Structure 1
Amino acid sequence: MDNLSYWRPQQREKLWDMLESGKHVWDLVIVGGGVTGAGILREAVRYGLKALLVEKRDFAWGASSKSSKMVHGGLRYLASGQLSLTRHSVRERQRLLEEAPGLVEPLNFLMGHYRGEFPPGFIFQRVLDVYDRMAGARNHEAFRPEQAAYLAPGINAEGLRSLSRFGDAVTDDARLVLKILRQGVAEGGVAVNYCGAREVVRVNGRLHGVVLHDAIADRNCEVRARVVVNATGAWSDQLRMQEGVGAQIRPLRGSHLVLPQWRLPVAYAVSGFHPDDKRPVFAFPWEGVTVVGTTDLDHTQDMEQDVSISAAEMDYLMRGVNHMFPSLGLQPEEIMCTYSGIRPVVSSGAADPSKEKREHSIWNDNGLISVAGGKLTTFRLIALDVLQEAARYLDGVAFNASDARVFANGAPPYSQECGVSASVYRRLCGRYGSAGASMLEKDKERLRPITGTNLLWGEIDHALQNESVVHLDDLMLRRTRLGLLAPNGAEAMLEEIGRRCQRYLGWSEAVWRDEANRYRNLFQRHFGVPGVTIINNDAAQAQRKTEETGA
């Protein structure tokens, strides 16, 4: 059976029956469906390992859908002397740009150099020389202050001495995770969402397997495993503490604002320093909106709840962006939505969260291998390090770190006959591979754009039919980013989306109403703007106030 078929509607029961049967002894059970877990699954099947990935919520539910969207080469780490991390990041960025055009795309950064601020332009240009040498191509230049108005209209001109442009990359992080997962599943892996790991099972002290919990049907089963990999990010300590190991993770919250592009029209990712604490702040174009980020502070809220921006963080980011673009006069009421993620940083005890190192760490607790830290860009290298450690328990597995492609070639060349522009075709194939091309061969109604976004209705249909959508927020916030890109969480599109959910998922009218209300509550509480009603839902507002009071 094609393992991708388990992601289709009404196939979950067959998947659970297979797990419950106990017929399989898995070489690897990977706990965690973010970019790290997805990367491990993809690399594991390359070596012929029987690999199962479980995620107790949805794929990319955590930081892997709530990052700053950057596939960057680690310029910040170069400035702090972390040369190895920068070198690896630059090379992996270039690999992803080559392998996933349409999903990972070049993005130019623009940084202003102001009187009295470090670094001055001439020093920063020397740093960029080193950065580009690592990438193997020059991709930076300097500009005079009088050119600023053309490069970034509205940018703060007071005290501006020069500007620097340099190249990096941007992605849709949740779609990147789905693309990696799909590649791993297509080559023999199994991945299931809303299925968590309750506990590791040992027999006479040796790892024997793991107890899984199906969050949808509220049932358990035990599966056999030779190795269990704990790739749960900011939640990594939870499984390790069952083994009697102390906490290692420092959860750091990073929050972002999403604004209409017409209110903050940037063609570059414009970077500057916050007037309060000199931390980096940036505004960049993404999927037809403008994103402003980010904060970096200890997350002390309930780790079992979806994370939310605080009023203080929102004010901080608004001060930062209005300092960079003082003439625009941006107001909180103009924010479309917000999002926050928890970075799984390995604690060193640094007083300042921003001073913590961002490299990944691996721990081996007698067959329970845990990994945390690292960056979105370097998921492949992290996966290879984990598998190197796992190989100690996998007799007969020939493991040599591979430099093969992450993603298979599959999409045919563009033709005008497909009915969309070359840029739309590139985007679809980047996100969905050969499925993006076949999407265009079906009902031409699927080519209809979703108003105000760069999405097609065919993407909604594809996700519902092929990508393990369990709840409405899976579709709105991760399979597509429609909830972030359309006003009011895409409230105006919900009626049409409801018809499609009922058609493809078999939801009754009552189930649809429950899912729509669940989504509205979640969006207002965790993607809304403190003090501003985005979706008029009294229950969501009341819940948000309760959480903020107790935070």
Structure 2
Amino acid sequence: MQKHDRKSRFQKLTEENFDILILGGGATGAGAALDASLRGLKVALLEKSDFASGTSSRSTKLIHGGVRYLAQFHFKLIHEALTERQRLLENAPHLVKPLPFILPTYKLYEKPYYSIGMTMYDILAWRGKLPAHKRVSKEEVLKDFPALQSEGLTGGILYYDSQFNDARLNVNLARAAAKEGAHILSRTELLSFQKKDGKIVGGKIKDLLTGETGIVKAKVIVNTTGPWVDDIRLKDDPRTYRVLSPSQGIHLVFKKETIPCNTALIIPKTKDGRVVFLIPWEDHVVLGTTDTPIHEVTEDPMPLESEVDFLLQTGSDYLAKPLQKKDILSVFAGIRPLISPEGNQDTKNISREEVILVSPSGLVTMGGGKWSTYRKMAEDLIDRVLVEGGLENYGGSRTATHVFPGKVGYSENLYQEIQKMYKVGEEGAKRLQNYYGGEVFVVLGKSPTPLIKGVDYFKEEVEWFLKEEFALSVTDVLARRFRVQFVDLKLAAKLAGPISTILAKGLGWKESERKEKEAEALSLIDSLKTTYNGK
């Protein structure tokens, strides 16, 4: 059934004429597909791999204004991000949540100095509903973040931002766009552009699962492929210049017992001039990020040993108990698709504001930006596309008040009902609440079956991922539908077999193909372990 459905969907792509063809299904592409679909445009969205498989699932899990941008006087960017933060808190409360931060101070002048900056941050939030910052004592800081080094500590600043589940928000964007009529297909690659009188009118595409090829026609083609924007631009014009200045950021994941904390922590100054965060997430603690300029973009970037050592040292400088490699449960790396037409290679100082480029052939490329401003980026992008495609009669964006799947029926205490109905632990119930919101009972049904004994991950969830969330591989499930590959590689390896069995049934895999797909997922897990000498 799945294979037949895919064949018909690919065929439909090649038979219809679209207003917009969007290449790349990360935050920007999926956000643009939803924005355009809500305006009534005929939209196709193609993703070469999986939705959020690149940068969009490997973030620091924050929707924030960017405290570090205060020192760079990027007030417009901060205000825009804080405005978007409030919208997401309202429109996707199960996926985006308030998060208190501690900014520790060790010198007498630091508390008033940082307080001045945080006052500006509060002002830029304007109509936001999160509490304003406040100065806190040493005792209060240690109560909020017990793992912190107490020697020399004078107190700190308590302020609020928000955190989110990046990959699940991305998948929900794609789902919402499909619900509004967008034609969406992953594992589909653009081979070349079709042109008429020097202008792009379509593209030759290939289904990477079946090998089938075809031509898709569109008035405007949009390039939102993140780290691969230059590859697409070169397919349009082999003589064009490269605009990408990519950098890699990595994160380490630990047990909460290793880094006891009730809030997040911001380390305001590091040896490389960045800030580093320690953030509770998925009942674990995430430490990141780095900023390492790179020359080669890969599908699954691997952390460098020097990056791992840097984060361990930076974290240990602020914690009472030094971190060690044996404490690491998982690690993930992402590539920032920073756009620098001027050729600036100092990636720490390249603006995170988005850039829109339009080639002589009409290809529209968007790069840069960050998760916090994805919605406004999508709005700006589609506004530009309407002009370039002569589609101005479609009107303005409608995404500012768009309610995400799962908001209806959601409450902060929904986990208690989940616990009662399904007899799961509090941790598992909160995960289910925050993954699916009010849809949780539709996803799980009356009596869900655990994938493995004693773990609150269920067969019915994987079946939901197949039916509603575009999952096509074991890693799609482990890394981006569940987030277990990001927080516990050992558990991910245990779940790979049961997940592959369910996918095999839904996707029509033969037993040899099932074993091959499972082995691919396990190989990636082993590679990630190797980066920090994990066992």
TM-score norm. by structure 2 comes to: 0.90
Q: Give the counterpart of 1:411 among 389, 408, 412.
A: 408
Task: Quote the Cα distance in structure 2 between the aligned partners of 1:495 and 1:215.
Answer: 23
Deviations 1:477-530 (A, max 9, x none): 1111122233425222334323323333333322221111101112222x3342
Partner of 2:475: 473
When residues 433 and 191 of structure 1 are mapped into structure 2, their CA distance, relative to the original with a 3 A threshold, is farther
How do residues 262-273 of structure 1 correspond to structure 2 at under 5 angstroms?
A: 262-273=257-268
Which residue pairs with 2:338 in the alignment?
A: 345
- 2:96 corresponds to which of 104, 107, 110: 104
2:393 pairs with one of 394, 397, 411 = 397
* Alignment equivalent of 1:260, drawn from 237, 255, 261: 255
Number of residue pairs the alignment of both structures matches: 519
CA deviations 1:144-173 (Å, max 9, x no partner) are: 223332221131223322211110111111
- The answer to whether structure 1 residue 439 and structure 2 residue 431 are counterparts is no
Instruction: Decide whether aligned partners of structure 1 residues 239 and 449 sit closer, same or farther in structure 2, where only a CA change above 3 A counts.
Output: closer
Within the alignment, does 1:29 sit opposite 2:30 as a pair?
A: no
Give per-residue Cα distances to partners, 1:310-348, cap 9 Å, x unaligned: 1111111110111111x3232102211110000011124
Q: Structure 1 residues 395 and 286, CA, compared in 2 at 3 Å: closer, same or farther?
A: closer
2:301 match: secondary structure: coil
The 3 A distance-change label for structure 1 pair 464 and 97 is same
Quote the offset at 1:227 in angstroms. Answer: 0.1
What pairs with 1:318-333 in structure 2 (closer than 5 Å)?
318-325=312-319, 327-333=320-326
Secondary structure of residue in 1 paired with 2:302: coil
- Find 2:8's aligned residue among 11, 14, 33: 14
In structure 2, C-alpha distance between the alignment counterparts of 1:496 and 1:309, rounded to whole Å: 28
2:168 to 170, 175, 182: 175
Matched position secondary structure for 1:54? strand
* AA in 1 matched with 2:28: T
| Contact 1:450/1:457 (<8 A) preserved | no
2:116 maps to 126
Q: Does the 8 Å CA contact 1:273/1:280 hold for their aligned counterparts?
A: yes
Of the candidates 274, 278, 285, which is equivalent to residue 280 of structure 2?
285
What does residue range 477-492 of structure 1 map to in structure 2 within 5 Å?
477-492=479-494
Q: Does 1:245 align with 2:240?
A: yes
Q: Residues 473-512 of structure 1 correspond to what in structure 2 (within 5 A)? A: 473-512=475-514
Q: 2:202 aligns with which of 194, 204, 209?
A: 209
Distance in 2, Cα, partners of 1:449 & 1:102: 24
Distance in 2, matches of 1:81 and 1:529, equals: 40
CA distance in 1, matches of 2:12, 2:490: 41
Structure 1 residues 97 and 389, CA gap change in structure 2 (3 angstroms): same
Query: Which blocks of at least 5 consecutive residues in structure 2 are unaligned?
Result: none
Q: Shift of residue 468 of structure 1? A: 2.1
Look up the match of 1:114.
106
The Cα of 1:107 is off from its aligned counterpart by 0.9
Residue range with higher mean Cα deviation, 408-417 or 460-469:
408-417
Distance 1:143 1:208 in 2: 60
Q: Which runs of 5+ in 1 are unaligned?
A: 1-5, 535-551
Kept in 1: contact 2:39–2:398 (CA 8 A):
no
Aligned AA (2:488): A
Aligned-residue CA RMSD (Å): 2.5
- Judge conservation of contact 2:452–2:498 (CA < 8 Å) in 1: no
Evaluate the alpha carbon distance shift between residue 444 and residue 140 of structure 1 in structure 2; reply closer, same or farther with a 3 A threshold: same
Task: Percent identity, please.
Answer: 29
What's 2:136 paired with?
143
AA in 2 matched with 1:59: F
Q: What whole-Å deviation, never above 9, does each CA across 1:384-430 have from its counterpart, x for those lacking one?
A: 11111111213463322446423257633678776259997776465
SS in 1 for 2:242: coil
- Could you tell me which residue of structure 1 aligns to residue 159 of structure 2? 166
Distance 1:9 1:259, change over 3 A: farther
Question: What's the counterpart of residue 533 of structure 2?
Answer: 532
**Residues 210 and 223 in structure 1, CA contact (< 8 A), matched pair in contact too:** yes
C-alpha distance in 2 between matches for 1:344 and 1:362: 13
